[in-house]
């Protein structure tokens, strides 16, 4: 069976490393005595030899730099963990998730666990390996690491700022329990396996934080007067810009921007644009219209937007009567 290699992405915290001689290493010691009896030289010797037992220790640490921002509801939100074999022998680990923790405002709903196929710290669902207990439990040599991803879904009806904790637990499949417990022939090279200070088990907690999703609009105007200045006089042109962005982890669906034309102005035909692309003024197949959906109103359909979407900019011109 191949053992995992320790590969590190810059974002990963340095793991706690194992200390000590590798399990199964022979420790040999020989004592000698030289002597003379009746003029004859002699030598006596005796040796003691034993193998170093395997110490079972493990460390799990949450790797995300900050709370995982989630919506309510939300699905398949990823937390990142680093599993390290801090013992002195090869060991494999069972992975479990516990979300029924106290001290937070909600319990995430656990979805699944993935093993990072290349230990680069980036979740890639088409590349990484779905964890199946008893089938592909991580097998690590001393000091080796495995990046692990835990996915959770978030319930509906939560409040902005609510926190929900998730705990990843790794337990040695060789032995766990009271430190110092020894299991004969269970270690590398049929040595004893001795439960280390971690108890052969480690856990750490990561946190999800609810952040509401909202659409933000920023409106500005550029004035150009007939005399080449920027004074709002009769005959001046007002160019309005409306920037729409999404804040938060979710998706705003069916975003529609409407703007009632200001009083004492006249719309300048053919000036409606979306992201600098001209839209027709009539209600037709493109995203916008003027007076088509509502009287004296600019209407632009922006569709579905998320925080990852680029800012959507609507512009149009009116003239001061």
Same domain, 58 and 194: yes
Same domain, 205 and 227: no
Per-residue pLDDT at 14: 53
Same domain, 291 and 219: yes
Same domain, 314 and 290: yes
Same domain, 72 and 196: yes
The residue-averaged pLDDT of 111-121 equals 96
Same domain, 299 and 278: yes
Same domain, 205 and 270: no
Same domain, 139 and 218: no
Per-residue pLDDT at 214: 87
Same domain, 201 and 220: no
Give the total number of structural domains in the chain: 2
Whether 121 maps to a domain, the answer reads yes
Same domain, 206 and 218: no
Residue 6 predicted with pLDDT over 50: no
SS3 sequence, 139-189?
EECCCCEEEEEEEEEECCCCCCCCEEEEEEEEEECCCCCCCCCEECCCCHH
Whether 95 maps to a domain, the answer reads yes
Whether 260 maps to a domain, the answer reads yes
CATH code for the domain of 168: 2.60.40.10
Whether 225 maps to a domain, the answer reads yes
Per-residue pLDDT tens digits for 140-194? 999 999 999 999 999 999 999 999 999 999 999 999 999 999 999 999 999 999 9
Whether 80 maps to a domain, the answer reads yes
Report residue 47 as tokens: 């040796």
Whether 48 maps to a domain, the answer reads no
Per-residue pLDDT tens digits for 16-69? 555 578 988 888 999 999 999 999 999 999 999 888 899 999 999 999 999 999
Residue range(s) defining the domain that contains residue 224? 214-320
Among 210, 240, 258, give the residue marking a domain's end: 210
CATH code for the domain of 288: 2.60.40
Q: How many CB atoms lie within 10 A of CB 21?
A: 12
Among 171, 187, 210, give the residue marking a domain's end: 210
Average pLDDT of the chain, as a whole number: 92
Per-residue pLDDT tens digits for 233-255? 999 999 999 999 998 887 889 99
Whether 103 maps to a domain, the answer reads yes
Percent above pLDDT 90 for the chain: 84
Whether 12 maps to a domain, the answer reads no
Same domain, 186 and 151: yes
Same domain, 202 and 284: no
Among 167, 188, 210, give the residue marking a domain's end: 210
């Amino acid at each position: 069976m191949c053992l995992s290699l320790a590969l590190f992405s810059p974002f990963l915290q340095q793991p706690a490393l194992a200390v000590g001689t590798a399990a199964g290493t022979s420790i040999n010691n020989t004592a000698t005595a030289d002597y003379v009896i009746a003029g004859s030289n002699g030598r006596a010797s005796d040796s003691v030899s034993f193998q170093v037992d395997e110490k079972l220790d493990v460390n799990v640490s949450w790797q995300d730099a900050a709370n995982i921002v989630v919506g309510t509801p939300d699905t398949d939100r990823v937390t990142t963990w680093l599993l390290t074999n801090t013992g002195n022998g090869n060991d494999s680990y069972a992975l479990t998730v516990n979300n029924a923790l106290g001290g937070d405002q909600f319990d995430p709903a656990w979805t699944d666990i993935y093993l990072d196929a290349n230990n680069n710290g980036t979740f890639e669902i088409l590349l990484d390996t779905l964890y199946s207990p008893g089938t592909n439990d991580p097998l690590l040599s001393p000091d080796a690491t495995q990046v692990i991803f835990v996915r959770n879904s978030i319930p509906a009806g939560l409040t902005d700022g609510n926190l929900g904790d998730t705990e990843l637990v790794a337990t040695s499949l060789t032995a766990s329990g009271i430190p110092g417990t020894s299991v004969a022939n269970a270690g590398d090279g049929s040595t004893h396996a001795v439960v280390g200070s971690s108890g052969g088990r480690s856990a750490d907690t990561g946190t999800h934080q609810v952040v509401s999703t909202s659409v933000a609009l920023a409106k500005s105007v550029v004035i150009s007067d007939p005399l080449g200045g920027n004074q709002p006089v009769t005959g001046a042109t007002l160019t309005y810009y409306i920037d729409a962005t999404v804040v938060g982890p979710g998706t705003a669906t069916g975003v529609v921007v409407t703007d009632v034309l200001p009083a004492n102005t006249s719309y300048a035909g053919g000036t409606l644009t979306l992201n600098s692309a001209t839209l027709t003024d009539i209600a037709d197949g493109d995203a916008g219209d003027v007076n088509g959906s509502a009287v004296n109103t600019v209407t632009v359909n922006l569709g579905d937007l998320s925080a990852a979407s680029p800012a959507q900019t609507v512009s149009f011109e009116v003239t001061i009567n």
